[in-house]
Amino acid sequence: MIFRATGDGFLDVGGRRVRCALGPAGVVPAAMKREGDGASPAGIWPIREVLYRADRVAAPRTRLAVRPIGQDDGWCDDSADPAYNQPVRLPYPASAEAFWRDDHVYDIIVILGHNDSPPVAGMGSAIFLHICRPDYSPTEGCVAVARADLEELLTTAQPGDALEIAP
């Protein structure tokens, strides 16, 4: 199954459209995506795995690979580093995004296969599906939905499914 997020701020979940947040620069063709540009990359991105904060939420019900987040889990976003667009342990010597956050947006994170086979330096990193902020404010380029909508999507998702980001 392909779940589809569109540039007008909606994501199809199990036959219904739910509100979503995207990057403030909108949706751009994947070939034009650049690190830090605030854009969400257009394309069909495989769902790789699901991470969650076990101290805040139960493991999501899903047939996808699931693992808890540790306090030292992060994601390298330094395009000059060999671990670019890959998981890392914090502290990390290069720039890396921390998964263990004070807010709740990373209580559940779906890792998407954007720019990961292999990563091309500077073409964008850390494109995830995660929980939105209460006001649906823009992400850094990810797709974000309400927790209940994300949990619903995960109950229907299966290995081999993908998320499409479309203009």
37-47: pLDDT as tens digits: 999 999 999 99
Q: Which residues of 103-128 are buried (b: 16+ CB within 10 A; e: fewer)?
A: ebbbbbbbbbbbbbeebeeebbbbbb
What is the set of domains in the chain, with CATH numbers? 2-166 (2.40.440.10)
CA of residue 105 relative to chain centroid, distance: 10
Cα separation, 106 vs 18, whole angstroms:
19
What average pLDDT does this structure show over 52-72?
98
DSSP conformation class of 32: G
Contact assessment for residue 38 and residue 24, using Cβ atoms and an 8 Å cutoff: yes
Q: pLDDT value at position 14?
A: 82
Phi, psi (rounded to 5 degrees) for 67: -150, 150
pLDDT band at 28 (very low <50, low <70, confident <90, very high): very high
Cα separation, 137 vs 9, whole angstroms:
11
pLDDT band at 142 (very low <50, low <70, confident <90, very high): very high
